[in-house]
């Protein structure tokens, strides 16, 4: 069975034709002397002429030192080009672009990938993964991006495969199966290159899939190590020996660990100096926590893994025995923090449970935990000594305690889609603030009896979602990690579902479901510029420099979890049209901009 369909502007072997076309448009295409190395990826944030990693650097700060586009010039920002994802395969477009040597690499819905001329937007090649019937993605057919390494572009697919293609031609070089899609596994994240390894997780927690972090040789796809993230499961070390994750039945009763969930479905960040991979794990399965007593390690947890072996170095679990589907996958952004007069290697994460955590990334010690949304009902705070939440008792009732099929319901804030979901926050080195795309919503949630059946949804819960406030759901918030103080907030009528970019030009870029890419002041939140893209923006803006000009790129295309799971949020977004465009902007008059 053929799994791929690749289209290219060149015939087999005609790489010179592509080179000639690229030179005509002012770009340089990948060649044998133009491989992407681990050092280049580690130094990604220091270079403005490329974006060679998801998160714009392994620390995932999503900050650029470029300042050509700034408060004085941003009004002159105009489209340079736009590329259509094409056809009827629209849905949510959550990709982050990678740019290297004049070529842009992007992914799209339904496991597709393209290489574009970064100057003109002209397509150089495309790859379309042939998906089988029966895939089971939880939350739309999205893909968040690729990794580039050596002369390869690597991404994951909805049928739980990892695919590497040649950067010049788009032709498949290797393909490896992550897990069985018929058992509910899938993949939507961007893989990570760390320690000269390809690091990826899996998706499928809502189907009882067991979370796994895997390291592969990026050149061949061969597995190097594998670490399950649910206690009791056995991982593989680089020498081929096995080791159990945690201790059997330490935090799970009976055999509940066997379909324990915990899928690390978003991806991770990396500290090259410490050689640690930081990755979050998903919700335990089923949602009905009465069926799985205990803390359920290592689900809904932040992990630090030894990049050489995959062994767990430390862990922090924000939501033990998660009863609300708060997960723990949200990104860990690595930064240096002035803490009690010392500089601490820190990591910050804004959890779906509504709390913003700052950890010591060397040892996992909790430094602070502060609410970043207004309404949190499940816990009143976090005990900084133990690191555990101070719960309010706001858990759904056990269906075994009632005569019907449903346990007693509760109203919980935030809703399970979270105070912040997958969409990434940004840390500005200019202001020292985090910019968090947050949401204010609540849910009524109740438990139901549930039995595991391979490939079927494994929830044991029902729910409804509605806004907390009449005038807003989304709120862009600027938070000081030293104090937990919210410096400003910018409300939005609908949920915020795009990632955030900050720049040395004093700007914060993010998108809205209403279709706007916006730029606000990083100190006040004042709106400085916006552009209507024609569909909801749930993509991830990046910026880079080419031939003396600064560019901003973002995907537009409404979709993702909100229209599928949003309940009473639906009427707020029902008018939004689907789309699929990659927009790239630059200043209209660079000479005038330079003079301002």
Which residues are known catalytic residues? 325
Q: For residue 144, give both structure tokens.
A: 């968040």
Rounded Cα gap, residues 503 and 282, in angstroms: 31
Contact 317, 300 (CB under 8 A): yes
240 strand-pairing partners? none
| Cβ neighbours of 31 (radius 10 Å) | 13
Spacing of C-alpha 293 from chain mean position:
29
CA angle centred on 357, ends 354 and 363, rounded to 5°:
150
- Output phi, psi for 266, to 5 deg: -105, -35
Per-residue CA distances from 497 to 303, 400, 430, 595 (Å): 24, 37, 24, 36
- Exposure of 524 in the CB half-sphere (CA atoms within 13 A): 5
CA angle centred on 299, ends 297 and 226, rounded to 5°:
90
Q: For residue 564, give both structure tokens.
A: 């599928």
Instruction: Label residue 560 left, alpha or beta by phi (over 0 means left) and psi (-120 to 50 means alpha).
Output: left
Q: Which helix (H) or strand (E) holds 199?
A: strand 197-200
Rounded Cα gap, residues 569 and 470, in angstroms: 11
Q: For residue 97, give both structure tokens.
A: 């672009």
Q: For residue 582, give both structure tokens.
A: 């990659």
Contact 126, 7 (CB under 8 A): yes
DSSP string, 293-360: -S--TTTT-EEEEETTT--EEEEE-SSTT-SS---S-SPPEEEEEEETTEEEEEEEEE-TTSEEEEEE
Helix/strand/coil for 176: strand
Contact 326, 417 (CB under 8 A): no
Cis, bond preceding 94 (omega within 30 deg of 0): no
Q: Which helix (H) or strand (E) holds 564?
A: helix 561-565
């Amino acid at each position: 069975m053929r799994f791929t369909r690749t289209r290219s502007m060149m015939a087999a072997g005609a790489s010179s034709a592509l080179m000639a076309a690229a030179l005509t448009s002012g770009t340089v295409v990948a060649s044998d002397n133009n491989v992407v190395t681990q050092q280049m990826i580690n130094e990604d944030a220091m270079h403005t002429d490329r974006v060679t990693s998801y998160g714009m650097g392994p620390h995932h700060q999503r900050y650029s030192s470029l300042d050509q586009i700034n408060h004085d010039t941003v009004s002159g920002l105009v489209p340079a080009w736009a590329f259509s994802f094409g056809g009827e395969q629209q849905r949510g477009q959550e990709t982050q672009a990678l740019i290297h040597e004049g070529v842009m690499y992007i992914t799209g819905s339904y496991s597709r990938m393209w290489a574009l001329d970064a100057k003109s937007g002209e397509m150089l090649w495309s790859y379309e993964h042939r998906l089988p019937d029966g895939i089971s993605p939880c939350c739309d057919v999205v893909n968040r991006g690729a990794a580039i390494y050596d002369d390869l572009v690597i991404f994951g697919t909805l049928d739980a495969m990892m695919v590497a293609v040649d950067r010049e031609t788009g032709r498949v070089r290797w393909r490896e199966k992550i897990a069985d899609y018929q058992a509910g596994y899938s993949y939507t994240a961007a893989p990570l290159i760390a320690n000269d390894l390809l690091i990826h997780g899996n998706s499928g927690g809502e189907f009882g899939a067991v979370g796994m972090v895997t390291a592969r040789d990026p050149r061949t796809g061969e597995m190097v190590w594998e670490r399950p993230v649910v206690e009791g499961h056995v991982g593989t070390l680089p020498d081929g020996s096995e080791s159990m994750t945690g201790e059997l039945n330490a935090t799970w009763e009976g055999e509940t660990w066997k379909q324990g969930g915990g899928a690390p479905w978003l991806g991770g960040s990396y500290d090259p100096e410490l050689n640690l991979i930081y990755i979050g794990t998903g919700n335990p399965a089923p949602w009905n926590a009465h069926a799985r007593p205990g803390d359920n390690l290592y689900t809904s947890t932040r992990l630090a893994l030894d990049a050489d072996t995959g062994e767990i170095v430390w862990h922090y679990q924000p939501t033990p025995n998660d009863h609300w589907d708060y997960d723990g996958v949200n990104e860990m952004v690595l930064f240096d923090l002035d803490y009690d007069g010392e500089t601490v290697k820190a990591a910050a994460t804004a959890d779906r449970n509504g709390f913003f955590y700052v950890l010591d990334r060397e040892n996992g010690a909790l430094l602070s935990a502060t609410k970043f949304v207004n309404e949190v009902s499940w816990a009143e705070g976090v005990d900084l000594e133990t690191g555990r939440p101070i719960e309010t008792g706001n858990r759904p009732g056990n269906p075994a305690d009632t005569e019907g099929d449903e346990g007693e319901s509760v109203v919980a804030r935030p809703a399970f889609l979270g105070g912040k979901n997958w969409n990434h926050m940004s840390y500005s080195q200019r202001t020292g603030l985090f910019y968090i795309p947050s949401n204010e919503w609540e849910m009524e949630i109740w438990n139901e009896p549930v039995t595991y059946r391979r490939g079927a949804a494994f929830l044991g819960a029902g729910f409804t979602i509605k806004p907390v406030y009449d005038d807003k759901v989304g709120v862009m918030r600027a938070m000081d990690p030293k104090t937990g103080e919210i410096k400003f907030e910018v409300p939005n009528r609908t949920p915020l579902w795009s990632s955030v970019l900050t720049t040395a030009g004093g700007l914060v870029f993010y998108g809205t479901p209403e279709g706007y890419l916006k730029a606000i002041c990083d100190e006040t939140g004042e709106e400085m510029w916006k552009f209507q893209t024609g569909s909801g923006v749930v993509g991830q803006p990046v910026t880079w420099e080419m031939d003396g000009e600064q560019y901003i790129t973002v995907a537009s295309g409404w979709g993702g979890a909100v229209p599928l799971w949003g309940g009473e949020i639906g009427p707020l977004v029902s008018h939004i049209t689907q789309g699929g465009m990659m927009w790239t902007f630059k200043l209209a008059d660079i000479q005038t901009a330079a003079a301002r």
